[in-house]
Structure 1
């Protein structure tokens, strides 16, 4: 068994992939305690969390030195978004992260905006 890269440690394997099931990382929890969507911006506060943090919590906190979306954290951690939301909400609960909803200059369900996105997607296909 060889590790994918030096930073991945024992959590990833070239042949087997992730060695720890994603929901083991969140202790089987599937619902975050803080409402987060994929575009929510999270950022470290500088507060050091008290108590034990798992390695994924530490990695997530390291990714949040500047504002970053929940989707980006999930992608960087190679975890499902639901698991990343649980980890991030743990960090918000202990004061190590702040969460800010995305700012829309337009209403996110504005018909003109949705039609423009649909047109762009159709051109890509």
Structure 2
């Protein structure tokens, strides 16, 4: 739940994280990381009546591409908790998770340095 400033507010009987995740502390899949991009499935599927307020908010905000860490910040919830929620929503077909660029596909740092050096010599 969000407090007045958007931060997670656990006062006044607010639900504890383990209640929101139905007692789980680990996601059902290990492919979701903080940089994983989340997007709602199109056309959207209706969430079950039992979906939590946090799950509904996560699906709603993922109508546009959003990283897991950004979603956690917007929800004002711990990243580990949002990781569990996102994993469940991917499993149920409400969200799609896209990995970042694999490390092997990133350009070599030596090549980038050579390009930078060459650009500097052009001045």
User: TM-score scaled by structure 2?
Assistant: 0.69
Q: 1:17 to 1:72 in 2, by over 3 A?
A: farther
Report deviation, 1:62.
Answer: 0.9
- For the Cα contact (< 8 Å) 2:38–2:95, is it kept in 1? yes
- For the Cα contact (< 8 Å) 1:43–1:68, is it kept in 2? yes
Kindly indicate whether residue 34 of structure 2 is the aligned counterpart of residue 38 of structure 1: yes
Report deviation, 1:105.
Answer: 7.6
- Aligned to 2:72, which of 68, 74, 93? 74
Structure 1 residue ranges without an equivalent (≥5):
113-125
Q: For this pair of structures, how many residues does the alignment match?
A: 107
User: TM-score scaled by structure 1?
Assistant: 0.68
Deviations 1:31-73 (A, max 9, x none): 1112200000000002223452011100111110011000011
RMSD: 3.3
CA distance in 2, matches of 1:104, 1:93: 22
Q: Paired residue for 2:4?
A: 4
Give SS of 2:97's match.
Answer: strand
- For the Cα contact (< 8 Å) 1:49–1:95, is it kept in 2? no
Report deviation, 1:111.
Answer: 6.8
Give SS of 1:99's match.
Answer: strand
Q: Paired residue for 1:54?
A: 52
**Greater relative CO (CA pairs within 8 A, separation 6+):** 2
